[in-house]
Amino acid sequence: MVKKTIHEINSKIKDGSVNVVTAEEMVDIVAELGPEDAARDVDVVTTGTFGAMCSSGVWFNFGHSEPPIKMQKVWMNDVEAYTGVAAVDAFLGATQLSDSLGMEYGGAHVMEDLIRGKSVDLHAISHGTDCYPRKILDTSLALDDMNQAIMVNPRNAYQKYNAATNGTKQTIHTYMGSLLPKYGNVTYSGAGVLSPLSNDPEYRTIGTGSRIFLGGTQGYIVGQGTQHASAGQFGTLMVQGDMKKMSSDYIRAANFTGYGTSLYVGMGIPIPVLDENVAKATAVTDADITTNILDYSVPSRDRPALRQVTYAELKSGSIEINGTEAATSSLSSFKKARKIAAELKDWISKGDFFVSMPVENLPANTSAKPMKETEGVSFVSEIMSTNVVTIEKDASVYKAAKIIMDSEFNHLPVVSKDSSLVGIVTAWDISKAVSQDKFDLVEDMMTRKVITAKTDERVDVVARRLDLKGVSALPVLNKENHVIGIITSDDISKLYARRH
């Protein structure tokens, strides 16, 4: 049995005799020597990852102005930061969007701008107090002008992450990127073989106080990240580091179409090889790491898993879903992950970075709870109108106009002889036809591509659909494609009004 201590490994780092390899290199070493001899030969294994980590942010201290101000609200380049703490402290989140530019610019961009040496415009307002009389402040600040800029990321470096695809007939835009219709592509995240937590799945050497590579400088693990779900191998880390020392090579802002901004964070964690079990764990391969492909078109936290897949399959460029080939693409940069693992290896080899054991290990058997909702969830069946009137497609426009006049609805679902939905007409469609002296059949003027709802859908999901499609009502269908109701924007507005 091979046994090493952190002190022994750090002594080797100090005298220059340490043997450091990357996790990618360790695979072949363990395969050739076996875990015991590999543990005897290798002292430290370096890992790396570079991907979008939305749960990231920075604590700033701006220094006191003259006269002083207690910032009630503050914006950096028109991106609002949280100020519910001391007078001139603020936390800027990576995904916070610009008040003026929206999804084009956000907190992540402010961070990258500062790291690149740019100044940002700071605007603050206050109610004013005896000790902090100033009410408005406008200035421009660079990183060097601030007392502190401490990056504190509540949830980074997922152990692994579910892959994403889309089973609908239209492209959807998510934090997993743009997903093409009918399982047209699969996106995934994570470094696989270089993933820090996948190389120490029992968290023997990774935990509170562990020294790490963060954004191009040395940082530390604060503890378990939010939503740490180690029982399912979805562990996460809360980390911190000095943003003043970080590099834009490893901290980059990103825009995701239709979703917003995120921050790409570069992180590397050294794993001291204490014994053969650690050596064996650091020989994990892409083929050993599995995850699920989820259908992100389902608007639920419990999206259906279509199949299990390995990172080796994901990295191959294509996989099979329901009998068809789907292209795969990574949202993470494996090239950057390799660079981080290699740079960390170099730091350790040169004696510029010493490894450390955690003062507290990460919890090893936790799961993430869903939100407790006390107000109750409303479904379409609870607020839809069931006395909906339909019309057959071969009816006249005149008949449609009379039904609209006699009913309480401005929308008239159009059905076939077997009562299946085939279209929809609105009061506006009829008014337009009448003004043009067109009294043809309903099917000549109806909208054929109808946006619909189901009784068991949540109202919030349907409200989003109404908003996205720019319509004010949706026919509600049963499994036979028959119209059994209609839900309108007025129905939803009344529900929201009752809630408030």
CA distance 160 to 311: 9
Start-to-end C-alpha separation, the chain: 66
Distances, alpha carbon 93 to alpha carbons 111, 153, 155, 156, 403, in Å: 9, 9, 12, 13, 53
Q: Which two tokens stand for residue 446?
A: 């109806």
Catalytic positions are: 131
Cβ neighbourhood burial of 451 (10 Å; 0-12, 13-18, 19+):
middle
Strand order from edge to edge, sheet including 453-454: 453-454, 473-477, 483-488
Q: Which two tokens stand for residue 114?
A: 């500062």
CB 119 within 8 Å of CB 141: yes
Longest dimension (CA), the chain: 94
User: Over the Cα atoms of the chain, what is R_g?
Assistant: 29
CA distance 87 to 68: 9
DSSP string, 317-378: SEEEETTEEEEEEESS-HHHHHHHHHHHHHHHHTTS------SEEPPSS--PPPPP-SS---
HSE on the CB side for 335, CA within 13 Å? Answer: 2
26-35 long-range contacts (CB < 8 A, ≥24 apart) are 26/279, 26/282, 26/283, 27/193, 27/283, 27/284, 27/285, 29/283, 30/279, 30/280, 30/282, 30/283, 31/283, 35/276, 35/277, 35/279, 35/280, 35/283
Q: If you ran DSSP here, which 8-state letter would residue 266 be given? A: E
- Axis-axis angle for helices 397-406, 427-435 (nearest 10): 130
CA distance 220 to 228: 17
- Of residues 341, 317, 339, 338, the one with CA closest to residue 327: 317
CA distance 95 to 183: 28
CA 421 to chain centre: 37
Q: Which two tokens stand for residue 311?
A: 């990172």
